[in-house]
Amino acid sequence: VTKKLLVLPGDGIGPEIMHEVARVVAWMSRTRGIVFDISEDLVGGASLAVHGVPIRDEVIAAAKAADAVLFGSVGDPKWASAGFDRRPEIAILKLRQELGLFANLRPAKVFDALVDSSTLKPEVVAGLDIMIVRETVGGIYFGEPRGIETLPDGTKRGINTEVYTTAEIERVARVAFDLARQRGNRVCSVEKCNVMESGLLWKEVVTDLHAREYADVELSHMLADNCAMQMVRNPRQFDVIVTGNLFGDLLSDLASMLTGSLGMLPSATLGAVDAAGRRPALYEPIHGSAPDIAGKGIANPLAQILSFSMLLRYSFAMEAEAALIEKAVANVLASGLRTADIMSPGMAPVSTAVMGEAVVRELDKL
Amino acid sequence: VTKKLLVLPGDGIGPEIMHEVARVVAWMSRTRGIVFDISEDLVGGASLAVHGVPIRDEVIAAAKAADAVLFGSVGDPKWASAGFDRRPEIAILKLRQELGLFANLRPAKVFDALVDSSTLKPEVVAGLDIMIVRETVGGIYFGEPRGIETLPDGTKRGINTEVYTTAEIERVARVAFDLARQRGNRVCSVEKCNVMESGLLWKEVVTDLHAREYADVELSHMLADNCAMQMVRNPRQFDVIVTGNLFGDLLSDLASMLTGSLGMLPSATLGAVDAAGRRPALYEPIHGSAPDIAGKGIANPLAQILSFSMLLRYSFAMEAEAALIEKAVANVLASGLRTADIMSPGMAPVSTAVMGEAVVRELDKL
Ligand SMILES: CC(C)[C@H](C(=O)O)[C@@H](O)C(=O)O
Ligand SMILES: CC(C)[C@H](C(=O)O)[C@@H](O)C(=O)O
């Protein structure tokens, strides 16, 4: 069966690293006979420039019709002061909301060959492998009321609302528990139940669900401030972390940075399985659009390539093919190839294209 | 003139480390002729156990009447499931709110002698000296509406509200700019203006105030998720950081952990100067009540002692005396004395009391 992919390269380095993924996709078609039906469109600043909006309704519709979305990154300093409704970021926020992509899976993994890239001591991060499951369509990102109002004296008041319902918490917790069973079997649920009622409900719902359906998984609870500390103190204590949208935003970025190699980390954002058994899903590297190095051909394409590997695993259950890509990436690193962002002193960096080609060459050997 | 201090040791290790501060206070009275009028009371779990509430109105009143409050720490696992209204933490939240303590000053400093305690590489954190100014009486901690409601189908909905007004943002930003002028002259303002209107207002108000009154200070803006990353990537890029209550909670704990020695870090929380020139203020170590080691006489008293040093500096403008305590602490560390929490492999730990006595002995020599 044909697999429909929507490719959205976005801004900055998005297009040039997506170009390298195309080689891997082509390799899969050629050697495994997988038929991909690929369409591509503009999002973020690239869409604003051409269409005046960060994402068109047609693109949302195409994303809904696709089996999976492969996303680059959005964000462009050109639009920094363009107003709240014309932020490139709206593209990803709208995709999450319109497709109901409620569970963001963010692995923070230290690659053996790159253990020295971290600012943390190697003995603290070697072998690190955390999976953060972040809720992505609720919480303060989307809660109403929201906005800025002018007070009688002319000064202003900015408001946002954090809202979580039992159903929203349960479905994302389920994803975390299910993932834990395939890994270290431990889930740490993170909130601020000591100051926020929404966090208190979060903790209660996770605790209840655990007792009802996941008693075989080890569950712990941690306050978000403590979690930020523990990630620095002893990050390897974590297996799966589940948390809300805002805490997840900070904590998953923090966890990524512990690895020292943002350019290596992919992510998946999954929706609910529908009656026909289809599950909307979007895959993107965790790094941003990196406008400072865009167009120079020096960006690291591996996080985008590994996002495609996650796509094969989670959207098409092609575990063997997903693992093959991961193996190829690990081998390329082991052979000493480095883009500038993951280079140690004394190494010579390779270009985006050389790195992409090397992965395909490695795939040929496997 | 007599200086009225209210001492609130709180829970866990609070009382035993406060006992060491008493020696330093006594030293100041004896050698400098400073007359302290000290009263002491219960807060947190200690107050719940005796009075059934985490803090009594009399204690709030005494705090208002005092020139400064020296606070230990609150939190006790015994009360973990006692319900939202009977959390020990309410003591500190109420003190902040009732005294209008809106600006929490959280230095994250690496002591030369302790540079190896960090999980980060010494070359990344040596000389680190960040001052985080966290708003503490607004934002999602106190915003209304809040609570947990039951939906028609019996499931629940948890709500909290993030609110910031121009006035609230301005006053805390002023504290940050004023502090920056006495340090590295740089302020980084942190929010999530790309997803939250309250963050957008935050950024606008800080930008306007800067242009109007603080153009001599270097101002930058950073998204909270990026800030969490940058703290791990290159923490020394920061001088003063100003941010809201919730982001400040996570980011200041994160920054503290970068130093690897939580047991060393004090904090001050300041209110507004009133018509009579008085400014409510509370000083506390950033570490918690550490129930696991409470009562064993092994806790590190230095953060509490340094909190008293901050008290002398910010509440009584006794810069010389404040610096004296800091010098004594630095010398004690340089002499190799360590409590268990800051010990390197191969060192022998000293007790809470020995550390406290050593500071006083060092003061005698200075
Ligand atoms: C681009 C931005 C809106 C987004 C977020 O805050 O969720 C990003 O930081 C992320 O983590 O995917
Ligand atoms: C005790 C708790 C309510 C408090 C907070 O979240 O503000 C603490 O974490 C702090 O940072 O002072």
Query: How big is chain A by its Cα radius of gyration, in Å?
Result: 20
H/E element, A254: helix A245-259
pLDDT reported for residue B315? 97
Q: Do B31 and B80 belong to one domain?
A: yes
Does the CB of A254 have a partner CB in chain B at under 8 Å? yes
Same domain, A253 and A272: no
Judged by a CB distance cut-off of 8 A, whether residue B232 touches chain A is yes
Structural domain ending residue among the three candidates B259, B280, B296? B259
CB A200 within 8 A of CB B148: yes
* A232–B89 CB contact, under 8 Å: no
For an interface test with B, the pick among A220, A232, A243, A245 (most B C-beta atoms closer than 10 Å) comes out as: A232
| Residues B145 and B246 reside in one and the same domain | yes
Phi and psi, residue A68, nearest 5°: -160, 150
pLDDT in tens, B100-132: 999 999 999 999 999 999 999 999 999 999 999
B123 and B255 share one domain: yes
B128 found inside a domain: yes
Which among A85, A159, A256 is the top mutation candidate for probing chain B, defined by the most B β-carbons within 10 Å of its own β-carbon? A159
A247 and A140, same structural domain? yes
Q: Where are the beta strands (DSSP E) in B55-210?
A: 68-73, 103-109, 129-135, 147-150, 156-165, 186-191
- CA of B52 from ligand 2 middle (Å) equals 21
Do A76 and A100 have their domain in common?
A: yes
Amino acid at B98: E
Whole-number percent of chain B with pLDDT over 90:
95
Q: Does the residue A111 lie in any domain? A: no
Q: What pTM does this model have?
A: 0.96
Among residues A259, A284, A302, the one where a domain terminates is A259
pLDDT at B164: 98
CATH of the domain at A81: 3.40.718.10
Residues A87 and A175 in one domain: no
Compute the distance between CA of residue B244 and CA of residue B263 in angstroms, rounded to an integer: 24
Ligand closest to the CA atom of residue B191: 1
Q: Which domain holds residue A167?
A: 119-259
CA angle centred on B38, ends B32 and B40, rounded to 5°: 145
The residue whose two tokens read 């540079």 is B115
Helix (H) or strand (E) segment spanning residue A3: strand A3-10
- Residue tagged active-site, from B57, B112, B116, B225: B225
Looking at residue B81, what is its pLDDT? Answer: 80
Give the residue among A321, A80, A124, A148 at the shortest CA–CA distance from A236: A124
Please say whether the beta carbons of B130 and B232 come within 8 A: no
Q: Which of A259, A287, A306 is the last residue of a domain?
A: A259
Considering CB atoms only, which of B84, B202, B257 is closest to A197? B84
| B133 and B255 both lie in a single domain | yes
Residue of minimum CA distance from atom 6 in ligand 1 = A249
Give the residue numbers of the binding site of B: 96, 106, 134, 225, 249, 253, 288-300
A87 to chain B: which residues are within 8 Å by CB? 194
Distance CA B246, CA B163 (A): 11
Residue B209 covered by a domain? yes
Q: Is the pLDDT at B346 greater than 90, yes or no?
A: no
Alpha-carbon distance values, A54 to A77, A79, A91 (Å): 14, 10, 5
Compare CB distances from A160 to B146, B198, B226 and report the shortest one's residue.
B198
The pLDDT of residue A360 is 98
Cβ proximity of A183 and A240 under 8 Å? yes
| Residue A254, token pair as written in the block | 């923090």
Distance from the CA of A280 to the center of ligand 1, in angstroms? Answer: 19
- Separation of alpha carbons B122 and B110, rounded Å: 10
In a domain, B58, yes or no: yes
- HEC string of B275-314? CCCCCCEEEEECCCCCHHHCCCCCCCCHHHHHHHHHHHHH
Active-site annotation holder among B11, B239, B249, B341? B249
Answer yes or no: is A304 within a domain. Answer: yes
My answer on whether A146 and A220 are in the same domain is yes
Residues B218, B188: contact at Cβ < 8 Å? no
Whether B31 is in a domain gets the answer yes
pLDDT value at B84 more than 90 = no
A28 to chain B nearest CA, in Å? 35
- Within a domain: B280: yes
Question: Which residues in chain B touch residue A199, judged by CB atoms under 8 angstroms apart?
Answer: 158, 160
* A123 shares its domain with A255: yes
Q: What is the average pLDDT across B171-184? A: 98
Task: Give the ligand with the smallest distance to the CA of B136.
Answer: 2
Looking at the fold, whether A147 and A247 belong to one and the same domain comes out as yes
B156-168: per-residue pLDDT in tens?
999 999 999 999 9
Q: How far apart are CA B309 and CA A97, in angstroms?
A: 50
On whether both B240 and B206 belong to a single domain, the answer is: yes
Question: What is the mean predicted confidence (pLDDT) over B242-260?
Answer: 97
Backbone angles phi, psi at B260, to 5 degrees: 75, 0
Let me know if residue B364 belongs to a domain.
yes
Distance CA A53, CA A86 (A): 7
Helix (H) or strand (E) holding A73: strand A68-73
Q: Is residue B192 flagged as an active site residue?
A: yes
Question: What is the tally of structural domains in chain A?
Answer: 2
Q: Ligand 1 pocket: which residues have CB below 6 Å?
A: A 89, 92-93, 249; B 194-195, 225
How confident is chain A (366 residues) per 10-residue block, as mean pLDDT?
Answer: 96 98 97 96 97 97 98 92 86 97 97 94 98 98 97 98 98 98 98 96 98 98 97 98 98 96 96 95 96 96 98 96 97 95 90 98 96
Residue A84: its pLDDT value, please? 81
